[in-house]
Chains A and B, each alone.
Chain A
Amino acid sequence: MQVYKACYKIIYKNKGQLLMYIGIFLLFAIFLSGIGSSQVSGFSETKCKIAVFNEDDGSAPADGLTEYLGGKAVIVEMEDDEEKLRDALFYRDIEYMLRIPAGFSDGLIAGKDVRIEKTTVPDSTSAVYLDMLVNKYINTYMLYAKNTGLEGDEIVRRIGEDLENETVVEMGDYGRKITTAENSAFYFNYLSYSMLSILILGLGAVILVFNKTDLKRRNLCSPVRLRSMNMQLISGCLSFAVLAWILLIVTSFILYSDFMLTVNGALMLLNSFVFTMAALSLSFLLANVMKSQNAVAAAANVFSLGTCFISGVFVPQELLVDDVLKIASFTPTYWYVRNNSLIAGLVNRSYENLLPIFMNMLIVLGFAAATLIIALVVIKQRRVSA
């Protein structure tokens, strides 16, 4: 058991770094869990965040329009401060801004070319949508004003009646997503980042020590059999990985307790465990290739950040370019992340829905086996050359 204990002594000496990654992860996790909002089932319109400054207060079309938009979008109360509004638009706190100029409705009736000032994210879908809503409302208002004898508030009331004619929207039942599941998918996606960092750093520390030439020679002279030594080393690494896994998943039971105790939650756990194995053998390979602690730290960052970025951990996979995803599919993280979203969206646990999930897990295990084999070849080579 000496070797096994030595592993943990080395890991304990590096606890600062490792705890930092756990800390970062927990911060992320708690932060993310706060974001999620509950969604009702069935279709609901997506509401853009807009700001409306009605300088033509008290006139029927301007007030009517503002009220109409209030139902179709979220009107963010904002101070009429140019700098704040610009910032808000840049960082998407609002996506659209309207300024109805004073005298707008009088000009409208008088047939002048009066315009509502809009500030948008150019060419965006939200701009197209809101342009459509605004123009439609004002055009309808003008339609009534021109073709009937009605005026002001009466027209607004009539338009209100017209607006009650809404289209029926049916949500096809092709796998409806549940929010806690989605949030926990985020949680597990982020887990891959911390897991990779922790395992590369931890294993790197341990294996570098055992690979030191002098130390290795001394160990080989010891009465402990090589086989037993290797077994202890391997079980040390394995148990460290399991320990890291337990540490990282524990919080999920607190944050998403209702989801984690379902079958989908169990699948999520299984998936993350499979990924842990892939991360473990990748770390094992890297640790055997790297020559110094500094190189290990660099590799830990490059590998964890790199794979996570291109595999859609930080940015959803749907937003990534296809070419990037193709490259990403050569990393286990990609399949792990895909699986997380599959599991999160899983409603009907039929054979055909479960099959791709297990296939992805098999792919991740395949990565684990492949990298392990490469690592063993590297070790063998080194032993021959040494």
Chain B
Amino acid sequence: MFSHIYKYRLKCILRDRQIIFWTMAFPLILATLFHMTIANITSSETFSEVKIAFSEEGGSQEYRLLKETLEQMSAGEGRNGGKKLLDVTYTSRGEADSLLKDGKIKGYICYDGEIKLVVKDRGLEQTVLKGILDDFRQSISSVTAILEENPAAANGSLFDDIAKRADYLIESAAGKAAPNTSVHYFYTLIAMMCFYGGFHGLKEVMSVQANQSSAGARVNMAPTRKMKVFLVSILAAVTVQLIETALLLLYLAFVLRVDFGNRIAYVLITCVAGSFTGVSFGACIAATMKTGEGPKIAVVISVSMIMSFFSGMMYHGIKTIVRSKAPVLSYLNPLNLIADSFYSLYYYQTYTRYFTNLALLCGFFALFSMFTYLAVRRRKYASL
């Protein structure tokens, strides 16, 4: 009996093109879109040499010294741990101006009675430029001050000291992986997909509830125990959801190359727990709401959208805002729990945060299941 119901429920689900679209194709499309757009966000933070121009018109002794310094810097003998900071074009002022206008360079240096930087926008790269120039001027000022204080220093190691800058910093990594914000979006996407699994749960409940579909009415007449039919149906739904989640996971990991860290077993456990919770969420909505199919679907979509929003699927800042302003809310959002589980596996060495998330998630699963059970059991109808 079990295999009979299971098989036919699987067929019913797989032939429902609309449900397969929303639970499978839609997340895959979104993942692709995310990949196309978000992958670049982190690389936009990555430092690359700032392109500038240097006007060779006019100038003082100081200006010529600056040119030498820049030449040294762009030759790769930079003062910043050997990293090349600038890509300098030496040209006339007019040419530099038109390069800037066309966006070919971030700014240019010219001499206008004093050293001057001309830029087009505000931004970090422009700030770096200013920092380099400030550094140059301030070093000169320091040297002058030192020589005033101690003229003998000129014969000592002063000039060597300026040329050789020591590195006083040591890197200490934040987490076990790079703080790459873009993975966050894919994690929330999997979480959203788990909750779209709610469509499966919704469909299964409606097909066994006598007052919600004619198939349900017929099932109630059959001599099989209703709870058995129901549980097997849900099992079929979870099966499909698990396969779909696995496909998305494979797509993300192997096609889009999203980094999930190296604890694969735990990633899979999260997917399983998420899928169960998602399906039970839909089942709970379908069982407790006394309306037609339309409003139920609307609730599943809008609730999962709202939860996605608060877990930061549209903008990652939302997640930290929620965590700092109303931390309870981040624990009460099962979608966020799924996403945060992936995050903590990726970023954290320890498991405390992961297991907290997982435990709460299982709590939600139990809660949804209990409500569904209470609503579905012992329904009797005077007439069908």
State the A residues within 8 Å of B (CB). 16-17, 20, 24, 39, 43-46, 48, 83, 85-93, 97, 99, 114-129, 131-136, 138-140, 142-144, 146-150, 158-159, 161-163, 165-172, 174, 294, 298, 301-302, 305-306, 309-310, 314-315, 318-321, 324
Contact = CB atoms under 8 A, between A and B. Distances in A.
A123 B46 contact: yes
Contacts of A87: 320, 323
B145 A158 contact: yes
Interface string B317-354: 10110010000000000000000000100011000010
Given A124-B46, A128-B83, A148-B146, A305 B33 contact: yes
A267 B135 CA distance: 45
A45 B170 CA distance: 26
A149 B345 CA distance: 53
A117 B131 CA distance: 22
Given A90-B175, A125-B124, A149-B150, A169 B130 contact: yes
A129 B127 contact: yes
Contacts of A168: 112, 114-117
Contacts of B3: none
Contact of A167 (B30, B40, B117): B117
Given A124-B47, A159-B142, A118 B120 contact: no
In the A-B complex, the 10 residue pairs with the smallest Cβ-Cβ separation, listed nearest first, are A115-B170, A167-B133, A147-B153, A309-B33, A162-B141, A125-B47, A90-B179, A124-B45, A315-B37, A165-B137
B141 A91 contact: no
Contacts of A99: 172
A351 to B, nearest CB: 18
Given A140-B138, A165-B141, A321-B36, A91 B316 contact: yes
Contact of B36 (A125, A169, A170, A310): A310
Contacts of A166: 130, 134, 137
A171 B116 CA distance: 11
A310 B39 CA distance: 12
B97 interface: yes
A185 to B, nearest CB: 16
Given A20-B302, A90-B174, A146-B157, A46 B168 contact: no
Contacts of B39: 321
B165 interface: yes
B166 interface: yes
B20 to A, nearest CB: 11
Interface residues of B, number: 95
Contact of A46 (B46, B124, B132, B170): B124
A315 B314 CA distance: 10
Nearest to B125: A125
A139 B162 CA distance: 8
Contacts of A83: 353
Interface string B149-177: 11001001110011001111111111100
- Best-buried of B30, B143, B165, B312 by chain A (most CB within 10 Å): B165
A322 B24 CA distance: 28
A39 B117 CA distance: 20
A165 B131 contact: no
A147 B142 CA distance: 11
Given A86-B174, A126-B124, A168-B115, 4 more contacts: A119-B171, A135-B167, A144-B145, A315-B41
A20 to B, nearest CB: 7
Contacts of A135: 79-80, 165-169
A129 B131 CA distance: 8
B163 to A, nearest CB: 11
A34 to B, nearest CB: 11
A176 B6 CA distance: 65
Contacts of A125: 45-47, 124-125, 128
B130 A167 contact: yes
A164 B79 CA distance: 21
A131 B174 contact: no
A367 B151 CA distance: 75
A43 B150 contact: no
Contacts of A120: 171
B178 interface: yes
Given A139-B165, A301-B26, A167 B137 contact: yes
Contacts of B130: 43, 45, 166-167, 169
Contact of B149 (A39, A90, A126, A148): A148
Contacts of B302: 20
A118 B169 contact: yes
Contacts of A127: 47
A88 B319 CA distance: 11
Contact of A121 (B45, B126, B317): B45
A143 B146 contact: yes
B184 interface: yes
Given A90-B181, A135-B168, A142-B166, A43 B45 contact: no
